[in-house]
Amino acid sequence: MAVSKCSRLSGPLIQELLDSVDNFLFDCDGVIWRGDQAIPGASEVTNLLKKNGKRVFFVTNNSTKTREMYAEKMAKLGFQAKTEEVFGTAYCSAVYLKNIAKLDGKVYLIGGNALSKELQKVGIQTVGSGPDPVSGGQSDWADVPLDPEVKAVVVGFDEHFSYMKLSKALKYLDNPDCLFVGTNTDTRLPLEGGRVVPGTGCLVRAVETAAQRKAQIIGKPSHFMFDCVVSEYGIDPARTVMVGDRLDTDILLGSSCGLKTVLTLTGVSHLIEATAHQESHCPERTGMVPDYYVETIADLLPALQG
């Protein structure tokens, strides 16, 4: 059944969508907030959705916060959200390593506190995070001692990323039995005011290039994060909508998992990119065409308040 795509979500169409779904998955950066500022109207939207009996989850590729830290930020910005409703890649990476990969050993971590904490919570020790400036010469880098208990390398957002860490990761990953996990491949992290900083994708790409191996990616568009939500809540994909700002992560995930998809224009992707994918008629690109789009999720307010 052909469904028209990339439709502006407005007027009666909003109520139609609301009636056809029970569950909302929201991306965070560029969708409900930018940096430390909520998108105007966003908290009202998610709170009203819950009030109207919808289940609301947050699915974010950002690995710099634990579930608890996200819940704190949400409370601070006026979003009513429980810790268990947030699915960040720090948490989901820990779930993956513990329950799927059944890791029995330590993790060499290129990442921050949140990843470290979520991994420790599931009983996985980490080494390597924090500053690691270069020392010595080339020979020293090649001979840097390894921790024999390390059985996986995990790459997430790391403001302390350095050549030294790249060298260590290369050495660990030379062993084909060492797992290689990346939290996500977003190339940029959107902040307030349209500013951006480099995203985890750049770091994962650097390590993949050095190791000549592909990382197992936890974050969108990989369906693993959706699997986490399903396994904890048992939701019906056909009655679920993914709301995101990136065509190549949020929308693609939604399409791949059989969800409805809404693109919001307050983040990374532009409408013109969505229509370009649509007009390409290219099979690999149709997954990045959203069902609907809004200028901002605040566009849903009238239908929710009415």
Contacting positions for a second copy (CB under 8 A): 35, 131, 133-134, 138-139, 141-143, 158-164, 166-167, 170, 187-189, 191-192, 195-199, 201-203, 205-207, 209-210, 212
Determine the Cα–Cα distance for residues 15 and 3; give it in Å rounded to an integer.
Answer: 17
CB of 141 to a second copy, least distance (A): 5
- Contact present, 243 and 298 (Cβ < 8 Å): no
- The dihedrals phi and psi of 281, each to the nearest 5 degrees, come to 50, 25
**For a second copy, which is the closer residue by CB, 152 or 189?**
189
Encoded tokens for 190: 């959107």
Q: Coil, helix or strand for 173?
A: helix
**For a second copy, which is the closer residue by CB, 94 or 189?**
189
Catalytic residue among 19, 22, 27, 147: 27
**For a second copy, which is the closer residue by CB, 206 or 271?**
206
Strands 106-110 and 126-127, bridge-based pairing: parallel
Determine the Cα–Cα distance for residues 233 and 224; give it in Å rounded to an integer.
Answer: 14
What 281-288 contacts at long range (C-beta under 8 Å, 24+ apart), as own/partner pairs, is 286/255, 287/221, 287/251, 287/252, 287/255, 287/256, 288/247, 288/248, 288/251, 288/252, 288/255
DSSP designation for 111: S
Interacting residues of 229 by C-beta distance below 8 A, sequence separation 6+ = 25, 57, 59, 87, 235
**For a second copy, which is the closer residue by CB, 31 or 189?**
189
DSSP designation for 39: P
**For a second copy, which is the closer residue by CB, 189 or 257?**
189
Catalytic residue among 29, 158, 186, 250: 29
**For a second copy, which is the closer residue by CB, 134 or 238?**
134
Instruction: Using alpha carbons, select from 127, 102, 101 the residue that is nearest to residue 116.
Output: 127
The residues that bridge with 60 in the sheet, in sequence order, are: 88
Q: 291 catalytic, yes or no?
A: no
CB of 274 to a second copy, least distance (A): 17
The residues that bridge with 155 in the sheet, in sequence order, are: 110, 182
Determine the Cα–Cα distance for residues 303 and 252; give it in Å rounded to an integer.
Answer: 26
Q: 299 catalytic, yes or no?
A: no
Catalytic residues: 27, 29
